[in-house]
Amino acid sequence: MYSFDIERPTTLEDAVEALKDEEAQALAGGQTLIPTLKQRLAAPERLISLTSIPELKGVSAKDGWITIGAATTHAEVAKSVSAYPALAALAGQIGDPAVRNRGTIGGTLANNDPAACYSAAALASGAVIQTNTREIAAADYFLGMFETALEEGEIIIQVRFPIPEVASYQKFAQPASRFALVGVFVAKFADGVRVAVTGAAEEGVFRWSEAEAALDSSLAPESIDALEADDDGLIADIHGTAAYRAHLIKVLARRAISAMS
Amino acid sequence: MTKISISVNGESKSAEVEDRTLLSHFLRENLGLTGTHIGCDTSQCGACLVHVDGLAVKSCTMFAVEADGTDVRTIEGMANADGSLSKIQAAFQEHHGLQCGFCTPGMVMSAAALLKENPDPSEEDIREYLEGNICRCTGYHNIVKAIQAAAAA
Ligand SMILES: Cc1cc2nc3c(=O)[nH]c(=O)nc-3n(C[C@H](O)[C@H](O)[C@H](O)COP(=O)(O)OP(=O)(O)OC[C@H]3O[C@@H](n4cnc5c(N)ncnc54)[C@H](O)[C@@H]3O)c2cc1C
Ligand code: FES
Ligand code: FES
Point out the domain boundary residue: B24, B48, B76. B76
pLDDT value at residue A178: 83
- pLDDT, tens digit, for every residue of A142-153? 999 999 999 999
For residues B66-94, average pLDDT: 97
What CATH number is associated with residue B137? 1.10.150.120
pLDDT value at residue A176: 81
Per-residue pLDDT of chain A (261 residues; tens, 9 = 90+): 999 999 999 999 999 999 999 999 999 999 999 999 999 999 999 999 999 999 999 999 999 999 999 999 999 999 999 999 999 999 999 999 999 999 999 999 999 999 999 999 999 999 999 999 999 999 999 999 999 999 999 999 999 999 999 999 999 998 888 899 999 999 999 999 999 999 999 999 999 999 999 999 999 999 999 999 999 999 999 999 999 999 999 999 999 999 998
Based on the fold, state whether residues A94 and A26 are members of the same structural domain: no
Expressed in angstroms and rounded, the spacing between residue B140 Cα and the centre of ligand 1 is 28
Q: HEC profile for A86-150?
A: HHHHHHCCCCCHHHHHHCEHHHHHHHCCCCCHHHHHHHHHCCEEEECCCEEEHHHHEEECCEECC
- Would strands A59-62 and A65-69 be described as parallel, antiparallel, or unpaired? antiparallel
pLDDT value at residue A144: 94
Chain centroid to Cα A57, Å, comes to 17
Based on the fold, state whether residues A181 and A242 are members of the same structural domain: yes
- Would strands A192-198 and A142-144 be described as parallel, antiparallel, or unpaired? unpaired
Contact (CB<8Å) A35/B61: yes
Query: Whole-model pTM?
Result: 0.97
H or E, element range at A211: helix A209-217
> Which one of the ligands is nearest to B46 CA?
2
Number of domains chain B is built from: 2
Which of helix, strand or coil describes residue B153?
coil
Q: Which among A162, A169, A171 is positioned nearest to A191, based on CA atoms?
A: A162
Number of domains chain A is built from: 3
Chain centroid to Cα A129, Å, comes to 11
Which residue range forms the structural domain that includes residue A154? Answer: 54-162
Contact (CB<8Å) A99/B56: no
Based on the fold, state whether residues A133 and A41 are members of the same structural domain: no
Residue B119: pLDDT above 90?
yes
Name the closest-CA residue to atom 48, ligand 1: A33
Based on the fold, state whether residues A92 and A34 are members of the same structural domain: no
Cβ proximity of B132 and B110 under 8 Å: yes
Reported as half-sphere exposure (CB side, CA atoms, 13 A), residue A164 has a value of 25
Name the closest-CA residue to atom 47, ligand 1: A26
Based on the fold, state whether residues A183 and A145 are members of the same structural domain: no
pLDDT value at residue A261: 82
Alpha helices in chain B (DSSP H): 23-25, 87-94, 104-117, 123-129, 141-152
Which residues from A are below 8 Å from B131, CB to CB?
95-97, 178
pLDDT interval class at B79 (50, 70, 90): very high
Point out the domain boundary residue: B51, B76, B101. B76
Which residue range forms the structural domain that includes residue B95? Answer: 87-152
- pLDDT, tens digit, for every residue of A117-128? 999 999 999 999
> What angle is formed at CA A40 by the lines to CA A39 and CA A44, rounded to 5 degrees?
135
What CATH number is associated with residue A81? 3.30.465.10
Point out the domain boundary residue: B43, B76, B109. B76
Reported as half-sphere exposure (CB side, CA atoms, 13 A), residue B36 has a value of 30
Residue B8: pLDDT above 90?
yes
- pLDDT, tens digit, for every residue of B27-58? 999 999 999 999 999 999 999 999 999 999 99
ipTM over 0.95: yes
pLDDT value at residue A188: 98
Amino acid code (one letter) for A195: V
How far is CA A167 from each of CA A99, A195, B54, B97, rounded to the nearest angstrom? 24, 10, 32, 40
Point out the domain boundary residue: A130, A145, A162. A162
B95 lines ligand 2 (CB under 6 A): no
Based on the fold, state whether residues A149 and A215 are members of the same structural domain: no
Based on the fold, state whether residues B91 and B121 are members of the same structural domain: yes
Contact (CB<8Å) B18/A1: no
How far is CA A46 from each of CA A102, A250, B3, rounded to the nearest angstrom? 20, 44, 17
Concatenated DSSP letters of A58-95: -EEEETTEEEEETT-BHHHHHHH-TTSHHHHHHHTTSS
Based on the fold, state whether residues B141 and B106 are members of the same structural domain: yes
Q: Which among A6, A90, A81 is positioned nearest to A45, based on CA atoms?
A: A6
Contact (CB<8Å) B63/A6: yes
B42 contact partners, CB below 8 Å, separation of at least 6:
A35, A38, B60
Based on the fold, state whether residues A224 and A203 are members of the same structural domain: yes
Q: Which of B26, B42, B50 to mutate to test the pocket of ligand 2 (most atoms within 8 A of CB)?
A: B42
A151 contact partners, CB below 8 Å, separation of at least 6:
A133
What CATH number is associated with residue A230? 3.30.390.50
